[in-house]
Amino acid sequence: MEHPGFFQRAAPLALGTLAEKLGATLDDKADRALAIINVRTLADAGPGDLSFFENRKYLAQLRGARGRPGLGARGVGDRVPRGVAAVVVPAPYRAFAQALHIFYPEAHHSKVAVAEASDPLVHPTARIEDGARIEPGAVVGREAQVGRGSVIAAGAVVGYRVTIGRGCFIGPGASITHALIGDRVTLHAGVRIGQDGFGFAMGPRGHLKVPQIGRVIIQDDVEIGANSCVDRGALKDTVIGEGTKIDNLVQIGHNVVMGRHCVIVGQVGISGSTELGDFVVMGGQSGAVGHIKIGTGAQLAGGSHVTADVPPGARMGGTPAVTLTEFGRQIAILKRLARRKTGEP
């Protein structure tokens, strides 16, 4: 059965009406009566969806768009393909955030247990399979599902419509919202899954929150260490691949897609929309900027920080990260310079 989703979407709006609400102008060829039903990424948008373009990294996706309106800054009209209506605004990302507020008015806060004060800790609409164990003080929210053999430890919160597979362990004090969890997943104490991604449209008059309407998908046999956080996606899903192992105190941003059997060591930070291939290893306190790809089998040394795409199988170190061979050369040069400065042989 298909999951019903976590947020209710508002009724469709005519493109002309939406443009007025956003303070936007339309090109002459735009159909002002076109019904806009949703807000989606350039890659996923279809007819009737509104998208936006601001980051040049996604120019190829803009060129591939067909038959859909898109928010863009002045001058973007020359870049959109035929059949795409350019909705021109001064700040596309901010207008995108405003559109999300219009279509998803409830999404500015996470949906947690969705229970009344008089409800039991395990909501009557929750589906708990035989053999699952809910410890004292755990909360299982409305329409949530917990599979056979899973344990929800004391003080944990399983939120509205969250799905937990079979043979899982959800540690004490952990919280899960807006997430679909596979089988045999271990989430240790204090893990936070599915909270808002860090999305704000910055501006001189303040920063407008961008509603985060995506989910977190955690595949089978994943283990996540204590007090680590996995943010839900903005429009798309944050995905943790099968068999991946994540240490304590790791931060995974919204829209991150992580491959199978990755190893992520303590205090790593992965910024939003970064993609990791299979079997990637990130050493302690390493990090990755957003919107890059780290290839299958790549290894990042502890304390290193990558700022651009990493090819498959690469071994990187330093800040900004370079190949370990180049990093070794840099360290050797610095040592020689230091000896000259001090007069050492």
293-294/223-224 β-pairing: unpaired
In the beta sheet, which residues pair with residue 209?
200
- Structural tokens at position 259: 């491959």
Q: For residue 254, indicate whether it is catalytic.
A: yes
In the beta sheet, which residues pair with residue 86?
70
- Structural tokens at position 157: 């919160």
Q: What's at 316, amino acid-wise?
A: M
**CB-count exposure of residue 149 (10 Å: 0-12, 13-18, 19+):** middle
CA distance 165 to 157: 15
Given the residues 3, 254, 261, 291, select the one marked as catalytic: 254
In the chain, % helix, strand, coil (3-state, to 5) comes to 15, 25, 60
- Count the neighbouring beta carbons within 10 Å of the beta carbon of residue 137: 14
Rg value, the chain, Cα: 23
Can you say whether the dihedral through the CA atoms of 38, 39, 45, 49 is positive or negative? positive
What does DSSP assign to residue 255?
T
- CA distances from residue 196 to 86, 120, 218, 238 in whole angstroms, order as listed: 29, 26, 16, 11
Q: Three-class SS of residue 200?
A: strand
- The pair phi, psi for residue 106, each rounded to 5°, is -90, -5
Element (H, E) at 51: strand 49-52
Q: Which of 68, 73, 122, 124 is nearest to 96 (CA)?
A: 73
HEC-encoded secondary structure of 122-134: ECCCCEECCCCEE
Q: Would you name the residues annotated as active-site residues? A: 254
